Amino acid sequence: MKSKRAHILLPHDLVKEIDSIVGPRGRSAFLVETAREAVRRKKLLRFLESDTPAWKDADHPELARGAGTWVRELRQESETRRTRKQRRAKK
């Protein structure tokens, strides 16, 4: 992954704390990891606070006739497969 240098200013006490946790040679990796977590969290919060629906019916055509129907069909398919396997095993 490409990297780009970024000159940032940190308070001395924060640098000291970071160094005590990861050492001076681990500072960049620690800050990258921390920044990635913060970006991920901010994006998730932005999504959760938006009016965009998380669920779209178009993404789940199998549920068009209702979740109950889908579950029953799924269970029936599973039962049919299980029964077939048992019959084959007996032969």
Domain that holds residue 42: 12-49
Structure confidence at residue 24 (pLDDT): 93
Structure confidence at residue 55 (pLDDT): 85
Domain assignment present for residue 70? The answer is yes
pTM for this predicted structure? 0.59
Which of residues 38 and 91 earns the better pLDDT score? 38
Domain assignment present for residue 29? The answer is yes
Structure confidence at residue 83 (pLDDT): 93
Residues 16 and 44 in one domain: yes
Domain assignment present for residue 28? The answer is yes
Digit-coded pLDDT (tens) for 23-74: 999 999 999 999 999 999 999 999 999 998 888 889 999 999 999 999 999 9
Domain assignment present for residue 1? The answer is no
Domain assignment present for residue 20? The answer is yes
DSSP the chain: -----------HHHHHHHHHHH-GGGHHHHHHHHHHHHHHHHHHHHHHHSS--S--GGG-GGGTT-HHHHHHHHHHHHHHHHHHHHHHHH-
Structure confidence at residue 82 (pLDDT): 94
